[in-house]
Amino acid sequence: MDNYLTLPGWVLAVFQSCLYIALAPLLVGWVRKVKARLQNRRGAPLFQAYRDLYKLLAKEARVAHTASPLFRAAPYIVFTATWMAAATVPLLVVDLPTAAIADIIVLVGLLALARVFLALAGMDVGTAFGGMGASREMLIGALAEPAMLMAVFTLAMTAHSTNLSSVIDYHLVDGFVLRPSYLFALGGLILVAVAESGRIPIDNPTTHLELTMIHEAMLLEYSGRHLALMEWSAQIKLLLYGTLIANVFFPWGIGRGFGAAALGLGLAAVLAKLAALGAVLAVGETVLAKMRLFRAPEFLNLALLLSLLGLLSHVILEVGA
């Protein structure tokens, strides 16, 4: 990677990071639109998520009198940590100045930081629902993180690096073959993405039923711009996992240079892959029902098992070769 410390590289790195913020509501709107069509409904406009964020940002943030400064700071910390985590995942090209920090360990650490402050904010005001949602969020995070690490480590062992940019670049140069170990890892990462993004069957982002909420239970006391930042963070997190699946397991189309053709191809490819993944998510949420909470550990244990099988099968194949 010889494009480090160049002005075009830094400009493109900033642009790619901002693109995560810009595209996150669009992916959510696309999923909602496909779900509505599958349910024979017209549904909200594709850009409704942008309008909702604009409406919330224009409103005054009301804070409970029992809230501490942590409650007020948490939305900004959660948003920044999630955005930084997304910036570590290559979106358009791999040869960027930020590639040095594009490590899976850094990614998991930033997501864990956002999760901790989200849980602390849920418990800060002292409501029962906030504490309930915080405990459930930490349970899911504790089970999802190991599965996610093992899934990506399966590909990292092939490239001999935990750097996401290096992993993608390795498979682009040497040719990407979807091995059986990769299929196990892909299955595990998809289950983790569903759970971490708060989607059906683990959670329902459109419900406000107190006994079934996880993510939404921690946001009940937020309003205005604070709520907008929390909702925006959740949308960025969904885009993060979609990009991770699309570009790490299906790296075709991502650019290896700063030319206009490479950038255009990279943008078109990632949009097409994200649209396909969004449609698959919409179909899954249409045909599946939300599972009971005590079955969530079983769901994530399956993700861990698939990721572990992928890692072990890769090790066995390497030893046998």
CB 38 within 8 A of CB 285: no
Question: Which position has the higher pLDDT, 155 or 208?
Answer: 155
- Please give the pLDDT value at position 122: 92
What is the per-residue pLDDT across 234-281, written as a single tens digit (0 to 9) for each? 999 999 999 999 999 888 888 877 888 888 999 999 999 999 999 999
CA distance 203 to 210: 12
pTM of the predicted model over 0.75: yes
- pLDDT at residue 209, as a whole number: 67
Burial bucket for residue 177 (CB in 10 Å: 0-12, 13-18, 19+):
exposed
pLDDT of residue 32 exceeding 60, the answer is: yes
38: nearest Cα among 207, 282, 288 = 282
Do 170 and 254 meet the contact criterion of CB atoms below 8 Å apart?
A: no
Per the model's pLDDT, the better-predicted residue between 12 and 51 turns out to be 51
What are the φ/ψ torsions at residue 240 (nearest 5 degrees)? -60, -50
Bridge partners of residue 163, in order along the sequence: 103
The tens digit of pLDDT for each residue in 211-242 reads 778 888 899 899 999 999 999 999 999 999 99
Contact predicate 213/178, CB 8 Å? no
Burial class (CB in 10 A: 0-12, 13-18, 19+), 303: buried
First and final CA of the chain: distance in angstroms? 30
The answer to whether residue 76 scores a pLDDT higher than 70 is yes
pLDDT in tens, 117-175: 999 999 999 888 899 999 999 999 999 999 998 998 888 888 888 889 888 888 887 76
pLDDT of residue 1: 45
CA torsion 274-220-73-19 (nearest 10°) is 10
Q: What is the 3-state secondary structure (H, E, C) of 135-190?
A: HHHHHHHHHHHHHHHHHHHHHHHHHCCCEHHHHHHHHHHHCCCCCHHHHHHHHHHH
Q: What does the block give as tokens for 78? A: 């959660």
Write the single-letter amino acid at 201.
Answer: P
Taking only the tens place, the pLDDT of each residue in 282-321 is 999 999 988 888 899 999 999 999 999 999 988 887 776 5
Q: Does 72 score more than 70 pLDDT?
A: yes
Q: Domain map of the chain by residue range? A: 7-319
CA 94 and chain centroid, separation: 18
CA distances from 7 to 14, 90, 92 (A): 11, 18, 17
What is the pLDDT at residue 261?
Answer: 87
Q: Residue 210: is its pLDDT beyond 70?
A: no
Spatial separation of the C-alpha atoms in residues 137 and 130, rounded to whole Å: 10
Mean pLDDT of 15-37: 95
pLDDT for residue 178: 67
